[in-house]
């Protein structure tokens, strides 16, 4: 997992993105090993398109063995379906160019549509790509027998790297069960570090909170399917992960508590190494405000030990299905289809098959919004140029001195490792590594041995650049979709999560962080969009202010939850005190609901509505302050009320300052 960014500026971002983290070296070495095996097989058995076979390793690699095996098997199935359908329809349309174009358009549209509208994702896109590519081959290989043999080899091009990936993952891939336990233990360990007052602990918490609990626990379910651990342990980890992430969230800003920090470290070790946790009752806290944290840790320990039954699995809140109702999916598929046909027309009209990589690029560059697509295209162009420089340099300076396949494998291994290191970074640079690999492979793996033909290499690299340029132009011109609307949706979800945290004691705060992280990512990608497109979203000019305010409110709300979880909180207070506290929380939650709606679709009177809602919240807070002024000085609940009012005042002041800034 990448660490939090610490250096400003472009150079600082690159340094942070390229720094090592736990698992990065292993992932890069495994990808390099897979590529070396594939190259050795392709060179010895004369399998065509070795470069594409090697690139598929990058496309299908995942951070754990189970996910890698699953996606590899899925791509084998997808490629098989695409090739079989292509063979069947080629028999019907081999002499009918218009029918072939129609079938190519239909399958391309369907593949790109379902790649974004359903969970089929890469498999749907692969079926569409393989079928479309099969349809185009008839233009350059008009002899049916040769075409059938070529398609058989195309299946081998997909099967060999995917089978290699399955084999390597099964033998030395990261155990998904161990990975999930390590993630959970890391949440507890970082929470303990924050309670111990260790420097940098809060920065370590950020990447753990920016992923959902379901995402962190996903390898556990796959691990049970593939037999890495039992189903009961998978259920146990899935039940504990939200608790561990919530504990980490509520620890942010908590007072130092060395005693609880030691207990959390022991619990983290017990989970990571599959030991029994500390005995029940050992999760005591030395600070009154952290009593709720201690109880949550006690519950985690009890579930892990099996002394507490697993909670009933809660179904994730499902958004309404919009597979066939969302016009954005159709627009995306049509834009992708247009870009693919433009590149197909370019290399077909000029009878220049060497730049067919232009069409292939369109399948793997297109994303839902203009900002995401242009960001991805920029990364791929930069990666293409770097990979081409590596490949051309190898052809000119290294290949003349190579005498056997061992030398070629060493060269490929070196280039692959460099590209894999970049590809195992975050989404900011990941696609650059993928494109570095593809351009490098296309240059050095042209035949069945060392190649010195710079013409083929330059044509393939030119095809990649053409494909990126066409996608960028089409997505800028036709139905441009700004990332601002996506950022607004995620920010609205985060603000509504704050409201839910105030309204329901059981609503966790941890799901807010992933929504904020996605909103922040999309708002940064707006820099790749044209100014006229950015102006369509009223949120983007204020995104930084709203994100900072929401993050601050999340920390304040975590402190309020710790306070309310204190033993004997407001014990002995009159009912009017508790009623006034609940009334203020309801008013504040109503303000947050209004703010979430205004972010998503701001009405003309949004500012007035928010001012009135915040004014009502201030009125209920004023009532609490009047009750405090009249409270007996020696009442035990007075201190709880004072701290509660201070927390609410801090929240209200933050919201007020944000409205003034807007």
The tally of domains found in the chain comes to: 3
387-416 per-position pLDDT tens digit: 999 999 999 999 988 888 999 999 999 999
Does a structural domain hold residue 324?
A: no
Q: Please check whether residues 199 and 126 belong to one and the same domain.
A: no
d(CA 102, CA 203): 53
Q: Please check whether residues 649 and 500 belong to one and the same domain.
A: yes
Q: Please check whether residues 638 and 538 belong to one and the same domain.
A: yes
Last residue of a domain, one of 305, 340, 363: 305
Residue 4 binned pLDDT confidence (cut-offs 50, 70, 90): very low
Last residue of a domain, one of 425, 444, 477: 477
Does a structural domain hold residue 11?
A: no
Q: What is the 3-state secondary structure (H, E, C) of 57-70?
A: HHHHCCCCHHHHHH
Confidence at residue 159, expressed as pLDDT on a 0 to 100 scale = 95
Q: Are 472 and 374 in contact (CB under 8 A)?
A: yes
**Cβ neighbours, 10 Å, residue 149:** 12
Q: Please check whether residues 549 and 600 belong to one and the same domain.
A: yes
Q: Please check whether residues 487 and 464 belong to one and the same domain.
A: no
Q: Please check whether residues 499 and 637 belong to one and the same domain.
A: yes
Q: Mean pLDDT over all residues of the chain? A: 86
With 90 as the cut, is the pLDDT of residue 478 above it? no
Q: Are 260 and 268 in contact (CB under 8 A)?
A: no
Q: Name the residue range of residue 96's domain.
A: 22-174+329-477
d(CA 187, CA 194): 11
Q: Which of 62, 56, 55 is nearest to 30 (CA)?
A: 62
Does a structural domain hold residue 311?
A: no
- Residue 513: alpha-carbon gap to chain centroid: 13
Does a structural domain hold residue 315?
A: no
d(CA 272, CA 280): 19
**Cβ neighbours, 10 Å, residue 541:** 13
Does a structural domain hold residue 39?
A: yes
Q: Which of 225, 215, 289, 213 is nearest to 561 (CA)?
A: 289
Residue 2 binned pLDDT confidence (cut-offs 50, 70, 90): very low
With 90 as the cut, is the pLDDT of residue 386 above it? yes
**Cβ neighbours, 10 Å, residue 218:** 20
Last residue of a domain, one of 430, 452, 477: 477
Q: Are 325 and 434 in contact (CB under 8 A)?
A: no
Supply the DSSP string of 341-396, one letter for each residue.
HHHHHHHHHTT-GGGTHHHHHHHHH--SSHHHHHHHHHHHHHHHHHHHHHHHHIII
Supply the DSSP string of 541-574, one letter for each residue.
GGHHHHHHHHHHHHHHHHHHHHHHTSTTTTTT--
Q: Please check whether residues 141 and 272 belong to one and the same domain.
A: no
Residue 9 binned pLDDT confidence (cut-offs 50, 70, 90): low
**In the predicted model, what is the mean pLDDT of residues 220-224?**
90
Quick one: tokens of 172?
């030395």
271-330 per-position pLDDT tens digit: 999 988 877 666 778 788 898 999 999 999 999 988 888 876 655 455 556 778 888 889
Q: Please check whether residues 581 and 597 belong to one and the same domain.
A: yes
Determine what percent of the chain is predicted with pLDDT higher than 90: 40
Does a structural domain hold residue 8?
A: no
**Cβ neighbours, 10 Å, residue 341:** 19
Does a structural domain hold residue 16?
A: no
Confidence at residue 195, expressed as pLDDT on a 0 to 100 scale = 94
Q: Please check whether residues 170 and 184 belong to one and the same domain.
A: no
Angle between helices 24-45 and 405-423 (to 10 degrees): 140
Does a structural domain hold residue 167?
A: yes
- pTM to 2 decimals? 0.86
- Residue 644: alpha-carbon gap to chain centroid: 36
Q: Please check whether residues 462 and 359 belong to one and the same domain.
A: yes
280-295 per-position pLDDT tens digit: 666 778 788 898 999 9
Quick one: tokens of 472?
């960028």
Q: Please check whether residues 190 and 140 belong to one and the same domain.
A: no
Q: Please check whether residues 272 and 235 belong to one and the same domain.
A: yes
């Amino acid at each position: 997992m990448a660490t939090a960014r610490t250096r400003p500026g472009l150079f600082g971002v690159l340094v942070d993105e390229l720094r090592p983290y736990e698992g990065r070296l292993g992932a890069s070495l495994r990808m390099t090993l897979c590529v070396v095996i594939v190259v050795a097989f392709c060179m010895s058995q004369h399998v065509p398109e070795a470069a594409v076979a090697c690139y598929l390793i990058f496309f299908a690699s995942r951070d754990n063995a189970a996910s890698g095996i699953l996606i590899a098997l899925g791509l084998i199935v997808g490629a098989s379906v695409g090739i079989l359908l292509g063979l069947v329809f080629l028999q019907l349309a081999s002499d009918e160019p218009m029918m072939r174009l129609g079938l190519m358009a239909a399958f391309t549209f369907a593949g790109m549509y379902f790649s974004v509208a359903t969970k089929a994702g890469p498999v749907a896109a692969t079926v569409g790509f393989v079928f479309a590519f099969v349809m185009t081959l008839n233009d350059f290989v008009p002899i049916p027998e040769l075409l059938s043999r070529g398609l058989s080899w195309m299946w081998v091009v997909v099967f060999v790297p995917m089978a290699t990936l399955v084999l390597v993952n099964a033998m030395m891939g990261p155990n998904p069960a161990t990975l999930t336990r390590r993630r959970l233990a890391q949440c507890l360990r970082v929470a303990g570090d924050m309670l111990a007052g260790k420097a940098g602990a809060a920065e370590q918490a950020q990447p753990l909170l920016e992923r959902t609990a379901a995402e962190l626990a996903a390898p556990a379910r796959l691990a049970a399917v593939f037999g890495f651990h039992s189903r009961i342990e998978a259920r146990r980890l899935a039940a504990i992960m939200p608790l561990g992430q919530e504990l980490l969230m509520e620890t942010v800003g908590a007072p130092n508590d060395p005693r609880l920090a030691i207990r959390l470290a022991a619990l983290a070790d017990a989970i990571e190494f599959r030991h029994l946790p500390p005995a029940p009752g050992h999760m005591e806290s030395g600070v009154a405000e952290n009593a709720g944290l201690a109880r949550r840790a006690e519950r985690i320990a009890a579930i892990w030990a099996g002394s507490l039954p697993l909670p009933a699995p809660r179904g994730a809140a499902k958004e309404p299905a919009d597979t066939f109702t969302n016009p954005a999916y159709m627009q995306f598929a049509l834009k992708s289809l247009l870009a693919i046909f433009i590149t197909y027309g370019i290399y077909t009209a000029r009878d220049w098959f060497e730049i067919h990589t232009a069409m292939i690029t369109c399948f793997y560059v297109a994303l839902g919004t203009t900002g995401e697509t242009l960001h991805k295209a920029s990364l791929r162009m930069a990666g293409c140029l770097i990979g081409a420089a590596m490949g051309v340099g190898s052809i000119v300076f290294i290949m003349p001195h190579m005498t056997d396949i061992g030398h070629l494998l060493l060269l490929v291994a070196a280039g692959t490792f460099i590209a894999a290191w970049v590809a195992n970074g975050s989404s900011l640079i990941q696609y650059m590594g993928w494109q570095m690999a593809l351009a490098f492979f296309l240059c050095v793996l042209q035949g069945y041995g060392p190649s010195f033909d710079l013409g083929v290499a330059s044509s393939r690299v030119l095809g990649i650049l053409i494909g990126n340029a066409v996608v960028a132009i089409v997505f800028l011109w036709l139905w441009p979709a700004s990332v601002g609307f996506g950022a607004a949706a995620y920010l609205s979800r985060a603000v509504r999560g704050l409201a839910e945290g105030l309204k329901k004691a059981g609503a966790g705060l941890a799901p807010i962080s992933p929504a904020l992280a996605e909103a922040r990512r999309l708002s940064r990608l707006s820099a790749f969009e044209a100014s006229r497109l950015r102006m369509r979203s009223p949120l983007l000019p204020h995104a930084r202010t709203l994100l900072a305010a929401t993050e601050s409110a999340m920390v304040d709300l975590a402190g309020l939850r710790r306070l309310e979880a204190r033993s004997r909180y407001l014990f002995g207070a009159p009912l009017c005190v508790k009623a006034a506290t609940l009334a203020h929380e309801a008013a504040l939650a109503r303000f947050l609901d209004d703010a979430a709606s205004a972010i998503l679709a701001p009405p003309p009177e949004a500012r007035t509505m928010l001012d009135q809602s915040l004014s009502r919240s201030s009125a209920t807070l004023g009532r609490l302050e009047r009750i405090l002024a009249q409270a007996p000085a020696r009442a035990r609940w007075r201190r709880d009320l004072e701290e509660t009012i201070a927390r609410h005042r801090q929240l209200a002041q933050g919201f007020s300052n944000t409205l003034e800034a807007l």
